[in-house]
Amino acid sequence: MKPSPLLLTLLLAPLARAQGDPAVLDRIIDQGKHHNQVMSRLHELCLDIGPRVTGSPKLAKAQRWAMGKFRTWGLTNIHLEQWGEVPVGFERGAHQVGRMVEPFESNITFTTMNWMPGTKGLVRAEAVMAPKTMADFDRDKVKLKGAWIVEYAGTGMRGPTKVEDPDIKKALDDLGIAGRIYGSQDERVWSHGTYKDKTFENRPTEVQIVVSRPDYDRIARNVGFGRKTVLEFQAENEWFKGPIPQYNVVAEIKGTEKPDEVVIVCGHLDSWNSPGSQGANDNGTGTVTALEAARILSAAHAKPKRTIRFILWSGEEQGLLGSLAYVKNHEAEWDKISAVLNDDEGSNYQSGYWGYAVMKPMLEQAYAPTVKAFPEMPQKFDVSSNMANDGGSDQAPFNYVGIPGLSCRQSGRQNYGHVWHTQFDRYEEAIPEYLVQASTNHAVVSYNLACADTMLPRGPKPAPKKI
């Protein structure tokens, strides 16, 4: 027996009430799928502005740019919200040169850590392997003076992995050297660093150059063969006097019925900046999918019942500083935040979420229109027993206090490890069709959650955690 139309209506009524207006959803899908501008935004952010270290002029420029976009699309309550300050600013200059000039010419892929000194102009010097003992130092003192010292210790993402013998280090520093050369693990060089315990006046002086593993092996091999090996480096590292206030960018589409209840769509605007990097996939992609979701909703004339708030964090790479401060400063709103949708895993498509079982039905309904529009990019919801353990990005501080912080699952063909914090984090590594889907999904899911009968259900209250 077929159910009557009335029975079908009654059965489907709860589902319909959990979604936004079907006509608006159709417009959102059409705007997102057929008129998407996400790659234009990524081009503007990463090629016109560039990588955006917390505390840098480029980050401040990107924040002004993002606010201008929100204004153009008619959002409201657009502002910078201060979360703290950095004691000193840092940026890479335009002059970043690395090459071997003898015994043959060869370009060198390299980086320096952030908040570390660069070179004083272009420095040409012979490469000499580091002395292993003080006897080696005494024997080679003449050729060590003014040389690039090729260290045996490797590096990880955060710099050298082995501390140099303090006596040898002091002897080399007192002698005067061009700097130290370290090798990375493979063809990637990572950018990292910290401003802690540093000021403009009190900053380190030791030049540390990290080169790719193939370049390191080439240098060490030529030195080992007894060939005169001459290297040139110019690392233009710029410092700015602090303290420098730091901000998150905030903008809203105000809710029509429950404006005090909020769905947050977010990504972090800051990035690292190895020479060559443009901050594109970590996390330019998360930034522009949030921005494009705002544009799509505006163009579709969406009028959500709850407020949809867009936040572009900074200080993420220094330890989730912007989002941690936001959660702490907005304690009065904790019970009114329905969900936080955070994108910070590169340029693959959004393939669902993970969270508590009680959230699954509403979220599956929320992203169903995207799955229908992009059937080749399926989504699923994975059930977790403890969302508070998810500490990798800006959704984490919300989960610490029991607010549903949802990290967008990602699937696809991008090798995120290739671009993550490396010189390969560039615009051309982004995958357009995936970002079209991701920005559309952000718009669809945030709109549906903002129009649902209830806020997203919450799981067990987490144990108290200091934030």
- The one-character DSSP state at 135 is H
- Band of pLDDT at residue 236, cut at 50, 70 and 90: very high
Range of weakest confidence among 48-57, 141-150, 162-171, 257-266: 162-171
Whether the predicted pLDDT of 155 surpasses 90: no
In this structure, of 34-38, 147-151, 193-197, 459-463, the range with the lowest mean pLDDT score is 459-463
User: Which whole number is the average pLDDT over 216-232?
Assistant: 98
pLDDT at 161: 77
The domain limits of the chain are 20-88+242-451, 92-239
Q: What is the tens place of the pLDDT at every residue in 321-335? A: 999 999 999 999 999
Predicted confidence (pLDDT) at residue 7 exceeds the cutoff of 70: no
Residue 10: band (very low, low, confident or very high) from pLDDT cuts 50, 70, 90: very low
The pLDDT of residue 78 is above 90: yes
* Element containing residue 450 per DSSP (H, E): helix 432-451
The helix-helix angle for 134-144 and 166-175 (nearest 10°) equals: 20
Strand partners, 96: 235
DSSP reduced 3-state for 461: coil
Residue that wins the pLDDT comparison between 320 and 10: 320
Q: What integer best gives the mean pLDDT of the chain?
A: 94
pLDDT level of residue 159 (50, 70, 90 thresholds): confident
**Could you confirm whether domain 92-239 is CATH 3.40.50.740?**
no
Find the mean pLDDT for residues 195-209. Answer: 95
CA distance 180 to 166: 14
- Band of residue 463 on the pLDDT scale cut at 50, 70, 90: confident
Cβ atoms within 10 Å, residue 158: 11
Over range 213-240, report the average pLDDT. 98
> Does residue 289 carry a pLDDT above 90?
yes
Strands 208-211, 258-268: pairing is unpaired
Tell me the percentage of the chain whose pLDDT exceeds 70. 96
Cα distance between residue 429 and residue 303, in whole Å: 35
Residue 17: what pLDDT? 47
Higher per-residue confidence, 159 vs 256: 256
- Using alpha carbons only, what angle is made at residue 22 by residues 17 and 25, rounded to the nearest 5 degrees? 115
Whether 42 contacts 435, CB under 8 Å? yes
| 412, pLDDT greater than 50 | yes
What six digits make up the tokens of 98?
Answer: 């690395």
pLDDT at 6 over 60: no
Q: Measured between alpha carbons, how far is residue 63 from residues 267, 270, 364 in Å?
A: 13, 10, 33
Cα–Cα–Cα angle for 102, 171, 113, rounded to 5 degrees: 60
Q: What is the mean pLDDT of residues 97-114?
A: 97
pLDDT for residue 399 is more than 60: yes
Q: What CATH code is assigned to 20-88+242-451?
A: 3.40.630.10
Q: How far is it, in rounded angstroms, from Cα 324 to Cα 334?
A: 13
The pLDDT of residue 4 = 45
Residue 163 has pLDDT above 80, yes or no: no
Dihedrals phi, psi of 250, to nearest 5 degrees: -130, 140
Confidence of residue 389 (pLDDT cuts 50, 70, 90): confident
**Strand ranges, E, within 361-420:** 380-383, 405-407, 410-411
Query: Going by C-beta distance under 8 Å and a sequence separation of 6 or more, which residues neighbour residue 450?
Result: 20, 255, 263, 304, 305, 306, 307, 308, 338
- Selection from 285, 289, 287 nearest residue 66 by Cα: 287
- The pLDDT value recorded for residue 18 is 58
pLDDT tens, residue by residue, 84-99: 999 999 999 999 999 9
- For the chain, give percent helix, strand, coil, nearest 5: 35, 25, 35
Cis peptide before 103 (omega within 30 of 0): yes
118 half-sphere exposure, CB direction, 13 A CA radius: 25
432-451 helix and 285-299 helix, angle to the nearest 10 degrees: 60
The pLDDT-based confidence of 365 (bands split at 50, 70, 90) is very high
Identify the band that residue 5 occupies on the pLDDT scale cut at 50, 70 and 90: very low
Asked whether residue 15 carries a pLDDT value surpassing 70, the answer given is no
Instruction: Quote the CA–CA distance of 189 and 430 in Å, as a whole number.
Output: 19
Q: Under 8 Å CB-to-CB from 80, ≥6 apart: which residues?
A: 63, 67, 247, 248, 249, 250
